[in-house]
């Protein structure tokens, strides 16, 4: 990545201007203090930067950042928890990302339930709150796959509401 890294007080407009904030395509705000990051986000937004991503150390404060309509509010704690969750379920599926303020997530699952092979994606019997958005088949990505027939080795990208992922894994893995 071609990036200019500035180590300084990002809450000072003069430092931001010296760094070329008016020409910046994106800004990452990565201090260890959420209040500082929140303040810098508000300042950076005044310079009309298109993409702003901030570190959120306390996941309960993520809504504050999202309320600012920044590009991304990333919690290292949540990311690490996701890595551990994936380590436990690796091989058959994994949670890619939490979305909708933690009320949903994106799953990637290798559909290994042989009883489902030959069925249309829309007929797999997934619970309400689960939608298959893509299928990776060999090297092809199939979007809107409702009418596609499930085959061995298909990897499904599924968007699920919180609390539904366990049932989805159970159905698709058998």
Phi-psi sector, 145: left (phi>0), alpha (psi -120 to 50), beta: alpha
Cα–Cα distance, 74 to 92 (Å, whole number): 26
E-only strand ranges, 20-103: 26-29, 51-55, 72-74, 93-99
For the record, the structure tokens of 78 come out as 């949540």
pLDDT truncated to tens, each residue of the chain (174 aa)? 677 777 778 888 888 998 889 988 899 998 999 999 999 999 999 998 989 999 999 888 888 888 888 888 888 877 777 667 666 654 556 666 777 767 888 888 999 999 999 999 999 999 999 999 999 999 999 999 999 999 999 999 999 998 898 899 899 988
CB neighbours of 1 closer than 8 A, spacing ≥ 6? none
Position of tokens 């800004």? Answer: 27
What the chain holds in terms of domains, given with CATH numbers, is 13-74 (3.40.50.720), 84-173 (3.30.70.1450)
Question: Sheet harboring 72-74: ordered strands across?
Answer: 26-29, 51-55, 72-74
Spatial contact of 21 and 49, defined as CB atoms under 8 Å apart: yes
pTM of structure = 0.57
């Amino acid at each position: 990545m071609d990036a200019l890294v500035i180590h300084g007080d990002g809450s000072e407009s003069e430092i931001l201007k010296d760094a070329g904030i008016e020409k910046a395509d994106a800004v990452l705000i990565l201090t260890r203090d959420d209040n500082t990051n929140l303040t810098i986000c508000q300042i950076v937004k005044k310079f009309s930067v298109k993409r702003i991503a901030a570190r959120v150390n306390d996941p309960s404060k993520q809504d504050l950042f999202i309320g600012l309509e920044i590009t991304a509010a990333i919690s290292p704690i949540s990311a690490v928890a996701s890595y551990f969750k994936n380590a436990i379920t690796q091989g058959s599926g994994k949670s890619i990302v939490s979305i909708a303020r933690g009320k949903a997530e994106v799953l990637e699952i290798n559909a290994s339930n042989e009883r489902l092979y030959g069925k249309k994606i829309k007929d797999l019997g997934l619970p309400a709150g689960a939608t298959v958005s893509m299928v990776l088949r060999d090297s092809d990505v199939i979007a809107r796959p409702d009418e596609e027939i499930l085959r061995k080795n298909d990897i499904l990208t599924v968007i699920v509401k919180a609390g539904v992922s366990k049932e989805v894994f159970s159905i698709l893995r058998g």
